[in-house]
Amino acid sequence: MAGFGSFVRDLGVDQDLHREFWRLKSGAMVVYPMETQMRLLIDAAAVGEHRVFGVEALSADPLFVHMAGGVVPSLDTIYRDLRRFDEPAIAALEEMMAAHGLAPVRARRRPVVHLDVDTTVEPVFGEAEGALPGPNPRYHGRPSYHPILARVAETDTVVGGKLRPGDTSFGEADAPTVATWIDRLRAAGPRTAIRVRIDAAGDCTAVMRTIDEKMAHFLIKAKTTADLCTAIYRVPRGCWRTVDVDADGRPTRQVAEVDFARGEWKARGLEVRVIAARSLDRQGKQLYLWDEAEWTVQAFLTNDTHGDADELAREYDGRAGVEPLIGELKGAWGIGKVPSADFAANHAALLLKLLTHNLLRRYVLATAPALALWRAPWIRRALLVVPGRFGRHARGPFLRLAPRPHLLN
């Protein structure tokens, strides 16, 4: 943890925290400034403590106490400080989190980057502000939060995050948020092409129009409405292009362009290319349209008018990488563990965990790039939670660690 702490300090995170958040808790009598409390929660999240009360267990660790300034504050103080966050502070924290998520993108210029947007459900067991019943595939009717996240697929970092009440679904109201995230990503690489991938929730005219106006390409899984299914079913057999065959030369995958447009697309002047891909081997939830064959079909929406239809359909499959990331954020970072009954405090806690995830990604890329594909629990075991001895002598504190060959070049 000492190496990670030094790396974070050298990045200037401590100074940024002071500059942006000191106003939340200022005065001559302040013992625990706001920036030190936030840094304390970042260190706790880095070693795997999901909740605020986990700080109490870490207070038995002499190194953690030393990095906290010599004294670990009470849990009540930390809870009160989280409730100090207001809207400007949350916006500043979200921008800081995104900046560290974009740093690996700036470090390596790519011709194309993919922005994957997805939502998840955080069930709340208890009473919390903004926790409302909504779409919840596991706990039906359970009050929950419904955060929305944006991930850069090439770096697996989070560049956008927002906590929302549980009854909020993805749709037209999120178009400005997606526009902000696209602007951030474009600022990190002005000459880089941006492709935004969203599941069927992105089949929303306002969202697609916003992406198109931002000069980015969208790849969205289409909602299988009755009129779209009819249009796919009526595609002539000769219009299906075979792109994959089995050992006997029989087609196993075919693609076709569908002559289809929703009425609202035409009303808003939005040109959308509809691509259908049918397969015999594809797994997962599929749509069966042909009784005489075992084809299952999916449809995709894009404003890329020049790309190959099969390549675009396969490119959408890369969006599946956001699901393991959300699983890691829930399991290894505990974004589903809400620390307070206050909505702003829970929003701040979510952003602090996302910030720590991005900082850990930067630390791994800088010090042990061979571990870049590892998930957070294994990175912690290899780099952060390692045996050591912390002590003091006449010249000050010292730390002796077990060998860590992953850090050797």
285 vs 102, higher pLDDT: 102
Kindly give, in sequence order, each residue whose CB lies less than 8 Å from that of residue 69, ignoring residues fewer than 6 positions away. 36
Confidence of residue 394 (pLDDT cuts 50, 70, 90): low
Statement: residue 320 has pLDDT above 60: yes
Statement: residue 399 has pLDDT above 80: no
- The mean of the pLDDT values for the chain is 89
Confidence of residue 144 (pLDDT cuts 50, 70, 90): very high
Instruction: Work out the average pLDDT over 247-268.
Output: 90
Lowest mean pLDDT among 206-210, 251-255, 315-319, 387-391: 387-391
Instruction: Work out the average pLDDT over 268-285.
Output: 84
CB-facing half-sphere around the CA of 311: CA atoms within 13 A:
5
Among 16, 91, 38, 23, CA closest to 353: 38
Domain boundaries, the chain: 2-84+368-407, 89-326
Q: Tell me what percent of the residues of the chain surpass a pLDDT of 90.
A: 58
pLDDT of residue 187: 92
Q: Which residues are paired to 157 by β-bridges?
A: 152
Lowest mean pLDDT among 28-32, 39-43, 219-223, 315-319: 28-32
Query: What CATH number is given for 89-326 in this structure?
Result: 3.90.350.10
Structure pTM?
Answer: 0.91
Label residue 232 exposed, middle or buried (CB < 10 Å: 0-12, 13-18, 19+).
Answer: buried
Q: Tell me what percent of the residues of the chain surpass a pLDDT of 70.
A: 96
Label residue 306 exposed, middle or buried (CB < 10 Å: 0-12, 13-18, 19+).
Answer: exposed
404 vs 342, higher pLDDT: 342
pLDDT of residue 382: 85
Statement: residue 63 has pLDDT above 80: no
Statement: residue 289 has pLDDT above 80: no
pLDDT digits (tens, 9 = 90+) for 183-210: 999 998 888 899 999 999 999 999 999 9
pLDDT digits (tens, 9 = 90+) for 339-384: 889 999 999 999 999 999 999 999 999 988 888 888 999 998 888 8
Query: Do the Cβ atoms of 197 and 115 come closer than 8 Å?
Result: yes
How many CB atoms are closer than 10 A to CB 257?
A: 13
Query: Do the Cβ atoms of 207 and 180 come closer than 8 Å?
Result: no
pLDDT of residue 282: 66
Token code pair at residue 397: 């504190």
pLDDT digits (tens, 9 = 90+) for 266-276: 888 899 999 99
Question: How many angstroms separate the CA atoms of 119 and 140, rounded?
Answer: 17
pLDDT of residue 293: 72
Exposed e or buried b per residue across 104-139, where buried means at least 16 C-beta atoms within 10 angstroms of its C-beta: bbeeeeeeebbbbbbbbbbebeeebebbbebebeee
Statement: residue 296 has pLDDT above 80: yes
Confidence of residue 285 (pLDDT cuts 50, 70, 90): low
Confidence of residue 407 (pLDDT cuts 50, 70, 90): low
pLDDT of residue 294: 81
